Structure 1
């Protein structure tokens, strides 16, 4: 039952993150990537402290260093993705970010010698092909935006992997609070060093404010709380495959709000992603053994 709840929470996260592509695109019309990230993480950290500040009674040095690591990884991934989006197309950005689906089991193998489940590999490859059909619109040529987005995919893969590992024996909400405080501090330092502090609310604009609030409340607080709690009950690779659905939902929001034309290739890509998720979910019924969660440290 708990595993099903975890899957549902990850699906909600994928929906929210899918909408985040549209909102981020709006925000970049008013703010640069560093300002947008700083506003997002600072507001998210403040709201989390207000809502769950009582959990600081349980704080330990172990939670602090784990949360700090996750915050640094998280900020790195989002900045690389957002800056990359300024130099490449949204379709390439979404596809290259989705490479994290394949990177997660490779990290598990390289760092902890965890055997790569053949169903995880098949599901990940299938999801990646689906994302390619769903998102890749133009010719696949590399530029600085593509390279930054590939690096972002690696960062997100590490975030998924270590979040799954750390939450096994820590309070997921407290870990999330420290994660976002860490990301907020790093993002604020970057804005200060760059001299990008907005001079007034008017300079941010209504669209910029909307983007910051939406990304902070929904794409950050709600989505990451759900993800971090859900990872107590799902494997890192299974979680990565489910979260790859953000590309599908990104397509849906683009069609609804940006009036993007839905093509046959996009439909096939979405179907492949769904097939990958189903394949990942039913594997215990015909696999030799159910994959185990990562062992807590």
Structure 2
């Protein structure tokens, strides 16, 4: 059942989440390419240092809107975010960007169960059906005969769980505090954790040896795959139900596949197209929830 805002607000928020998924999807192939120039943790550290600097420069004054409890919860969210990015970056060392994007997309089917556990109530049957249909489409797109499951895929599965938890916690926290300030805190705290891990685990890279094109790529993932989409997600989830958010953000997977294809790291065939059509059906079903629910409510009200 759609509980947050009216239909127009929910649809606007869902449209914003769709844009977020597209931006995140572009990050799989780009990040995989950037690993040729910088080690995993240092790549994440530099990316989040740039993101934190941009957010702090623009939204520093918003931090005064948060209480100490809000900051603490934002830091916990940032810790979860850092964990998912560690699974993401190291997973890419052992699997392909397209494969990881689909495994990570399985988070969409985890959200209804985690939602039920977290809120002690079942989500809408229509939205849940949309989540399962979307997951089925992702599986169709990802499956290959004799597919093996390696260490990188296991890390990608942890990434999926982290993404599912992140959707739930962002939805919950964004309705309790200023979403923009929350974004600043979660990105900054994730930055601290990732930088500390980089310092203690990996040798400091020769930044001068990194070519200009790679720095442009890092700036791209900092701005268009981190700052902008995380701001949009946190604000949009204030108004969009969790299952809607999970389904729409799962479009990161097919968009990740498309971007990987465009840079020559994946191929497109009938299986991918069929899976994409099923995913689209799942998204449409989820988006129709508001209208279907309203019609049923009117029907039962008129026949009561």
Q: Give the direction of change, closer, same or farther, for the CA distance of 1:150–1:261 in structure 2 (3 Å limit).
A: closer
Could you tell me how far apart the structure 2 residues matched to 1:27 and 1:137 are? 27
Could you tell me how far apart the structure 2 residues matched to 1:202 and 1:168 are? 43
1:15 is the counterpart of 2:22: yes
* Equivalent residue runs for 1:203-282 within 5 Å: 203-258=209-264, 260-282=266-288
| 8 Å Cα contact 1:91/1:137 also seen in 2 | no
* Equivalent residue runs for 1:1-297 within 5 Å: 1-137=8-144, 139-199=146-206, 201-258=207-264, 260-287=266-293, 288=296
Normalising by structure 2, report the TM-score: 0.89
Could you tell me how far apart the structure 2 residues matched to 1:253 and 1:147 are? 23
| 8 Å Cα contact 2:127/2:286 also seen in 1 | yes
Provide Cα deviations, 1:143-188, integer angstroms capped at 9, x if missing partner.
2111111111111111111000000121110000000110000011
Bigger drift between 277-286 and 218-227 goes to 277-286
Shift of 1:125: 1.4
Could you tell me how far apart the structure 1 residues matched to 2:247 and 2:290 are? 16
Gaps of 5+ in 1: 291-297
| 8 Å Cα contact 1:38/1:188 also seen in 2 | yes
Provide Cα deviations, 1:87-123, integer angstroms capped at 9, x if missing partner.
1233331221111101111111122212132222211
Could you tell me how far apart the structure 2 residues matched to 1:136 and 1:82 are? 22
Query: How many aligned residue pairs are there?
Result: 289
RMSD: 1.8
Shift of 1:138: 5.9
Provide Cα deviations, 1:13-58, integer angstroms capped at 9, x if missing partner.
1111111112111111111221111111111011100011121232
Gaps of 5+ in 2: 1-7, 299-304
Structure having the higher Rg: 2
